[in-house]
Structure 1
Amino acid sequence: MSAAPSLHAPEHTARRRRRPASHGRATAAARLGRWTLLLCAALLVLAGLFPDLVAPGDPLAVDPSRAFRSPGWGHPFGTDESGRDVFTRVVHGAGPSLFIGVTATVLGVGLGAVLGLVTGLGGRRVDAAGSRLVDAMLAFPTLLLALLVIAVRGPGVAGVVVAVGLSSAPGYARLLRSEVRRVARSGHVEAARMLGHSPARIVVQHVLPGALGPLLAVATLGIGQAIVWASALGYLGLGAPPPEPEWGAMLNAGRTYITNAWWMTVFPGLATVAVGVVATLLGRRTSARLAGRRASDG
Structure 2
Amino acid sequence: MCYCLVLVESTTIKDNTHFFAPGDNVEVTEGELVNLRGKVVSVDGPKVVMMPDHEELKEPLTLNISELRKYFRPGDHVKMISGRYEGDTGLIVRVEHNLVVVLSDLSMDEMKARPRDVQLCADITTGVDSLGQFQFHDLVQLDQQNVGVIVRLEKETMEVLNQHGKVLRVKPQAIQGKKDTRHSQALDSQQNPIQCRDMVKIIDGPFAAKKNEEEKQGEIKHVYRSWVFVYSRKHVENGGMLVCKARHLLLIGARAGTTRSMKTPLMVLSP
TM-score range, shorter chain: under 0.3
Structure with the bigger RCO (C-alpha within 8 Å, sep 6+) is: 1
Find the structure with the greater CA-based Rg.
1
Higher strand share: 2
